[in-house]
Amino acid sequence: MDKIVIQGGSELHGSVRISGAKNAVLPIMAAALLVEGVTVVRNVPDLRDTRTMIRLLEMVGAKTSFENHELTIDARPVDTPVAPYDLVKTMRASFYVLGPLLSRFGETKVSLPGGCAWGPRPVDFHLKGLEKLGAKISLEGGYIQAKADYLTGSTIRFEIPSVGATGNLMMAAVRARGTTVIENAAREPEIVQLGEFLNMMGAQVRGLGTDEITIHGVDSLQAADIRVIPDRIEAGTFLIAGAMLGSIELEAVEPKHLKVVVEKLEEAGAEIQSDQHTMKIHCTSPINPVNITTAVYPGFPTDLQAQWVALMALANGTSIITDTIYQDRFSHIPELSRLGARITLEKNVAVVMGRDQLIGAPVMSTDIRASASLILAGLAAQGTTEISRIYHIDRGYERIEEKFRTLGASIQRIPE
Ligand code: UD1
């Protein structure tokens, strides 16, 4: 397993290009299974998760080619609507194929994802929603079997908005008979883009970006060509790096997806200028302590909570960080403590007592965003930080060490 080794303390300067959004491309790739045609997806980030989804698409029979961030998916030959445990257990987003495969084939078998590094993460909303559309759902040998000669539009209300369940049900409902209404739907930009992609294919999805999405079923869809939106979580991670360590310009970014993150960074003392597709951040010293509570979009994203803890570990005072989306998503805290961060955790609330300096140490990465948090802390710490199990970072960040190196960081990947 590769390691990342960082000599901390270098100031960061220069510009970095933000990649396409992981959480947008994965459902778009699943949606390509809806049509007997050739989909083209541009600005595709080259990530371990993208590669896993490509393998899954090929397993169900699609032909793909992926070069220079352009992915072509020929879904005409798809004939095996089964998503195996080996893939789904490594990437929960594989569950996104459930809706499209059921819609296209009238039956499918998709492995249940199981637990993950930050808690149980159920899929009950996806399943209850499909049942409302008329699917028969059963569990056999760890696999969800879904069957429906045809799906029928219905009203589905989520207890809490779920990104994955909103996406899955949108994809299932586009060819259902009649109208489906999803109440308390996710409003994340990645879900908006999925809906726009479905509309480009001929679907009729309305209310995107609001909490009520209406889908009028259509008889057929055609393949489309789409460019993936910038990754707001990668962008947020580099903004936090800028707030900690220097002066960074982000290119190919979508500032309007980062409003709350920018507000919080400004409260922390950073100076930010945004243009249409660029953002500049300058750090100021000291870093003010700023509380955050994660929330569904447009609130502060849970996917930036771990990185915010790293920033607050160096703040001039105490801050309180609450994760309301995932109560257990704090595996970065014991590792940040190894670098000298002073953090106490009670349930889903972390209290971070900032200090002037962190000191490098060997640490272990446990999931994508925890890894990003450890890289940020390592870049700021005095001395050497060695991060093991770094494969997690490659799931969600493209060549992160190269991007930080071009900004002046001393960071190397050491292959095993
Ligand atoms: C997506 C993102 C992930 C992000 C998360 C929250 C992708 C590929 N992943 O994950 O990076 O951290 O949104 O922004 O886009 N829930 C249920 N039952 C369900 C589904 C969800 O109880 O059937 C709960 C979850 O446990 C969680 C909350 O709903 O507490 C939100 O989860 P959800 O939005 O579904 O997250 P994902 O789509 O898995």
Average pLDDT of the segment spanning 397-405 = 97
Average pLDDT of the segment spanning 359-366 = 96
In sequence order, the 6+-apart residues with CB closer than 8 A to the CB of 77 are 61, 62, 63
pLDDT beyond 70 at 398: yes
Cis bond before residue 298 (omega within 30° of 0): yes
Task: Name all residues whose Cβ lies below 6 A of ligand 1.
Answer: 23, 26, 92-93, 121-126, 160, 162-165, 190, 302-303, 325-326
The pLDDT tens digits for 196-222 are 999 999 999 999 999 999 999 999 999
Å from CA of 113 to ligand 1 middle: 12
Å from CA of 15 to ligand 1 middle: 32
| pLDDT recorded at residue 375 | 98
pLDDT beyond 80 at 297: yes
Looking at this protein, which amino acid is placed at residue 19? S
Q: How far apart are CA 312 and CA 321, in angstroms?
A: 9
Place 416 in a pLDDT band, splitting at 50, 70 and 90. confident
Closest residue by Cα to atom 22, ligand 1, is: 122
The pLDDT tens digits for 150-182 are 999 999 999 999 999 999 999 999 999 999 999
Contact call for residues 64 and 74 (beta carbons, < 8 A) = yes
Residue 59 exposure: Cα atoms within 13 Å on the Cβ side: 20
| pLDDT recorded at residue 114 | 74
Secondary structure of residue 293 in the 3-state scheme: strand
Q: How far apart are CA 376 and CA 378, in angstroms?
A: 5
Place 115 in a pLDDT band, splitting at 50, 70 and 90. low
pLDDT beyond 90 at 321: yes
Pairing of strands 12-17, 246-251: parallel
Residue 139's CB: how many other CB atoms inside 10 A?
10
Å from CA of 94 to ligand 1 middle: 13
Nearest to 282 by CA among 1, 32, 14, 10: 14
Q: Which residue has the tokens 């989520």?
A: 158
| pLDDT recorded at residue 118 | 64
| pLDDT recorded at residue 284 | 84
Closest residue by Cα to atom 9, ligand 1, is: 23
Per the annotation, the verdict on 116 as an active-site residue is yes
Q: How far apart are CA 26 and CA 50, in angstroms?
A: 7
Closest residue by Cα to atom 32, ligand 1, is: 162
Contact call for residues 121 and 88 (beta carbons, < 8 A) = no
Place 99 in a pLDDT band, splitting at 50, 70 and 90. very high
pLDDT beyond 70 at 119: no
Closest residue by Cα to atom 3, ligand 1, is: 303
| Ordered domains of the chain (ranges, CATH) | 2-19+230-415 (3.65.10.10), 22-227 (3.65.10.10)
Give the mean pLDDT of the chain.
96
Looking at this protein, which amino acid is placed at residue 129? G
| pLDDT recorded at residue 196 | 98
The pLDDT tens digits for 61-85 are 999 999 999 999 999 999 999 999 9
Annotated catalytic residue: which of 116, 181, 200, 349?
A: 116
Among 49, 125, 162, name the best residue to mutate to test ligand 1's pocket (greatest count of ligand atoms within 8 A of Cβ): 162
